[in-house]
Amino acid sequence: MDTGRIARGMFASSSSHASSCPTMGAAPLGLCRPSVKASSARQQGRSWRSTAMHVQATVAERIGTSVSPYIQEPGKGLGFYTGTDGHLYVDNLRIDDIRTQVPDSPFYLYSQDRITANFKAYAAALDGLDHFVGYAVKANNNLPIMRHLQSLGSGAVLVSGNELQAAEAAGFDTTRTIFNGNGKLPAELRLAIDKGALINVDSEFDLENIAEAAKAIDKAARILIRINPDVDPQVHAYVSTGLANSKFGIRNSHLQWFLDRVRQEPLLELAGVHSHLGSTITKVDIFRDAARIMIRFVEKIRAEGFDIKYLNIGGGLGIDYYRRGDKIPSPADLVNTVRDLVADLGLTMILEPGRSMIGNASALVNTVTGVKTNGNKNFIVVDGSMSALLRPSLYDAYQHIELTAPSSGKQDTFDIVGPVCESADFLGKDRTLATPKAGDGLVVHDAGAYCMAMASTYNLKMRPAEYWVSNGELKQIRRGETLQDHLQLFEGF
């Protein structure tokens, strides 16, 4: 498709924005004064403004500081928000206007400014400490997004040789990358050592493979030992990784074996320790408890004569999936729990955020195919599905769902489902929404992390195109896959 046309299209010109502004003539898009109430507020029978102020007050009371990033002054939003006209916006562009420009549906839509803000929150939190932020590429491996994070100064956290090569293609300095995983292959290890990545040691056999790979290419390997602090992250079992029975990391009781073995191998340089507790963590004291345990390991390893430098406490910060202004720890909350300890010990701190870097910067934009009722269940059927966005089906995860425009349809409770031939194919359950019409837009929020990255072509629903808003303009950043892409895999067979 012609991305230039989209980039230069109606979104770039304020005069055409005026047409989206029902009551205000030439006001810039998104700055219209209220003409229609926001859909979520309407559901509760309150005006947008009173709802927002109520939530702001409640949140401010609870956290005593700034309000949730989702509560925006109308029309001045960063990322995704409801404008004063009740329509959904991203970075001042109305999503329904974007839908008319985009030939694909469903599609992923991102806010570049939100990604930038998320990165800057980490950079600001770490200011004054030796550090680097490693973006966990597994969360979203879109190349322009990776390039953007790299340009902001991010490092990268990788779990496969392909991710390492993609990071290099996106311009990341590979000496500021970390290679993680419990089943790293010899060829991947050789590549990682060759590129100067930090490598996390996950097990006895992994250490032997790293030593072998280093010898094979006659280059030193910089390693971190991945320790399980055995602190319960209080999250879904599938995203909990730092407990004693986890498949990741070493047996802490064998630490001495690892240290002795490293001492015997001149090509192994022990540079630090690593831990990753799990994902979607919403309690900051969990990080503090784990960091304290990790600091004890640092002290123990230093006492053995290793001059280790890095403390990597992984990723895992949750985001406000429910969008009700819950207090979610910020990067600053996280860093401040360990700032003094890290500074006192002269350590370089590494963080590995994925979800909190990219999660709230995207929505999956779908089109309603129809509405139906079976038994006592109402369904909104959309063109997106578990193939495009798996988290609800896989983890029963909640991601907030809204219609893109105000609707006079009757409020009801719906399951939002896709066309895939599985009862597990749902995007949300028991959601209160206005009854939409076929063709209406419906978004699944907070779809930046682990959504496109986990998309499949199940039922030959091809992986969606991706777009972002960058400097106020809509641009395509990945084409949608086609049936032709699929059929090509069989050419010659």
- Can you tell me which of 131, 323, 391, 463 binds ligand LLP, judged by CB under 6 A? 391
Q: Which residue's CB is nearer to ligand LLP, number 11 or number 122?
A: 122
Phi, psi angle pair for 315, to nearest 5°: -115, -150
Distance CA 447, CA 109 (A): 9
List the structure tokens of 321.
């999936």
Smallest distance from ligand LLP to CB 200, Å? 7
- Can you tell me which of 30, 69, 106, 314 binds ligand LLP, judged by CB under 6 A? 314
- Residue 316 within binding range of ligand LLP, rule CB under 6 A: yes
Q: What is the DSSP string of 137-205?
A: GGG---HHHHHHHHHHT-EEEESSHHHHHHHHHTT--GGGEEE--SS--HHHHHHHHHTT-EEEE-SHH
Smallest distance from ligand LLP to CB 290, Å? 13
- Can you tell me which of 82, 177, 180, 330 binds ligand LLP, judged by CB under 6 A? 180
Q: Which residue's CB is nearer to ligand LLP, number 157 or number 365?
A: 157
- Residue 330 within binding range of ligand LLP, rule CB under 6 A: no
Query: Which residues, numbered 432-491, are part of the site for ligand LLP (CB under 6 A)?
Result: 449-450
- Residue 139 within binding range of ligand LLP, rule CB under 6 A: yes
Strands 441-444 and 362-374, sheet pairing: antiparallel
Distance CA 206, CA 209 (A): 5
Neighbour count for residue 440 (Cβ, 10 Å):
21
- Residue 428 within binding range of ligand LLP, rule CB under 6 A: no
List the structure tokens of 401.
């769902």
Q: Residue 135 CA to chain centroid, in angstroms?
A: 10
Q: Residue 132 CA to chain centroid, in angstroms?
A: 18
Q: Which residue's CB is nearer to ligand LLP, number 111 or number 118?
A: 118
Smallest distance from ligand LLP to CB 157, Å? 5
Smallest distance from ligand LLP to CB 48, Å? 30
Query: Which residues, numbered 149-178, are part of the site for ligand LLP (CB under 6 A)?
Result: 157
Q: For the chain, percent helix, then strand, then coil, each to nearest 5?
A: 35, 20, 40
- Residue 276 within binding range of ligand LLP, rule CB under 6 A: yes
- Residue 249 within binding range of ligand LLP, rule CB under 6 A: no
Q: Which of 21, 32, 421, 451 is catalytic?
A: 421
- Residue 353 within binding range of ligand LLP, rule CB under 6 A: yes
Q: Which residue's CB is nearer to ligand LLP, number 239 or number 474?
A: 239
Cβ atoms of 338 and 291 closer than 8 Å: yes
- Residue 315 within binding range of ligand LLP, rule CB under 6 A: yes
- Residue 275 within binding range of ligand LLP, rule CB under 6 A: no
Q: Is residue 32 annotated as a catalytic residue, yes or no?
A: no
Query: Max alpha carbon distance in the chain (Å)?
Result: 76
From 66, 93, 63, select the one nearest 77 (Cα to Cα).
Answer: 93
- Where do contacts with ligand LLP occur on this chain (CB under 6 A)? 136, 139, 157, 180, 239, 241, 276, 279-280, 314-317, 352-356, 391, 449-450
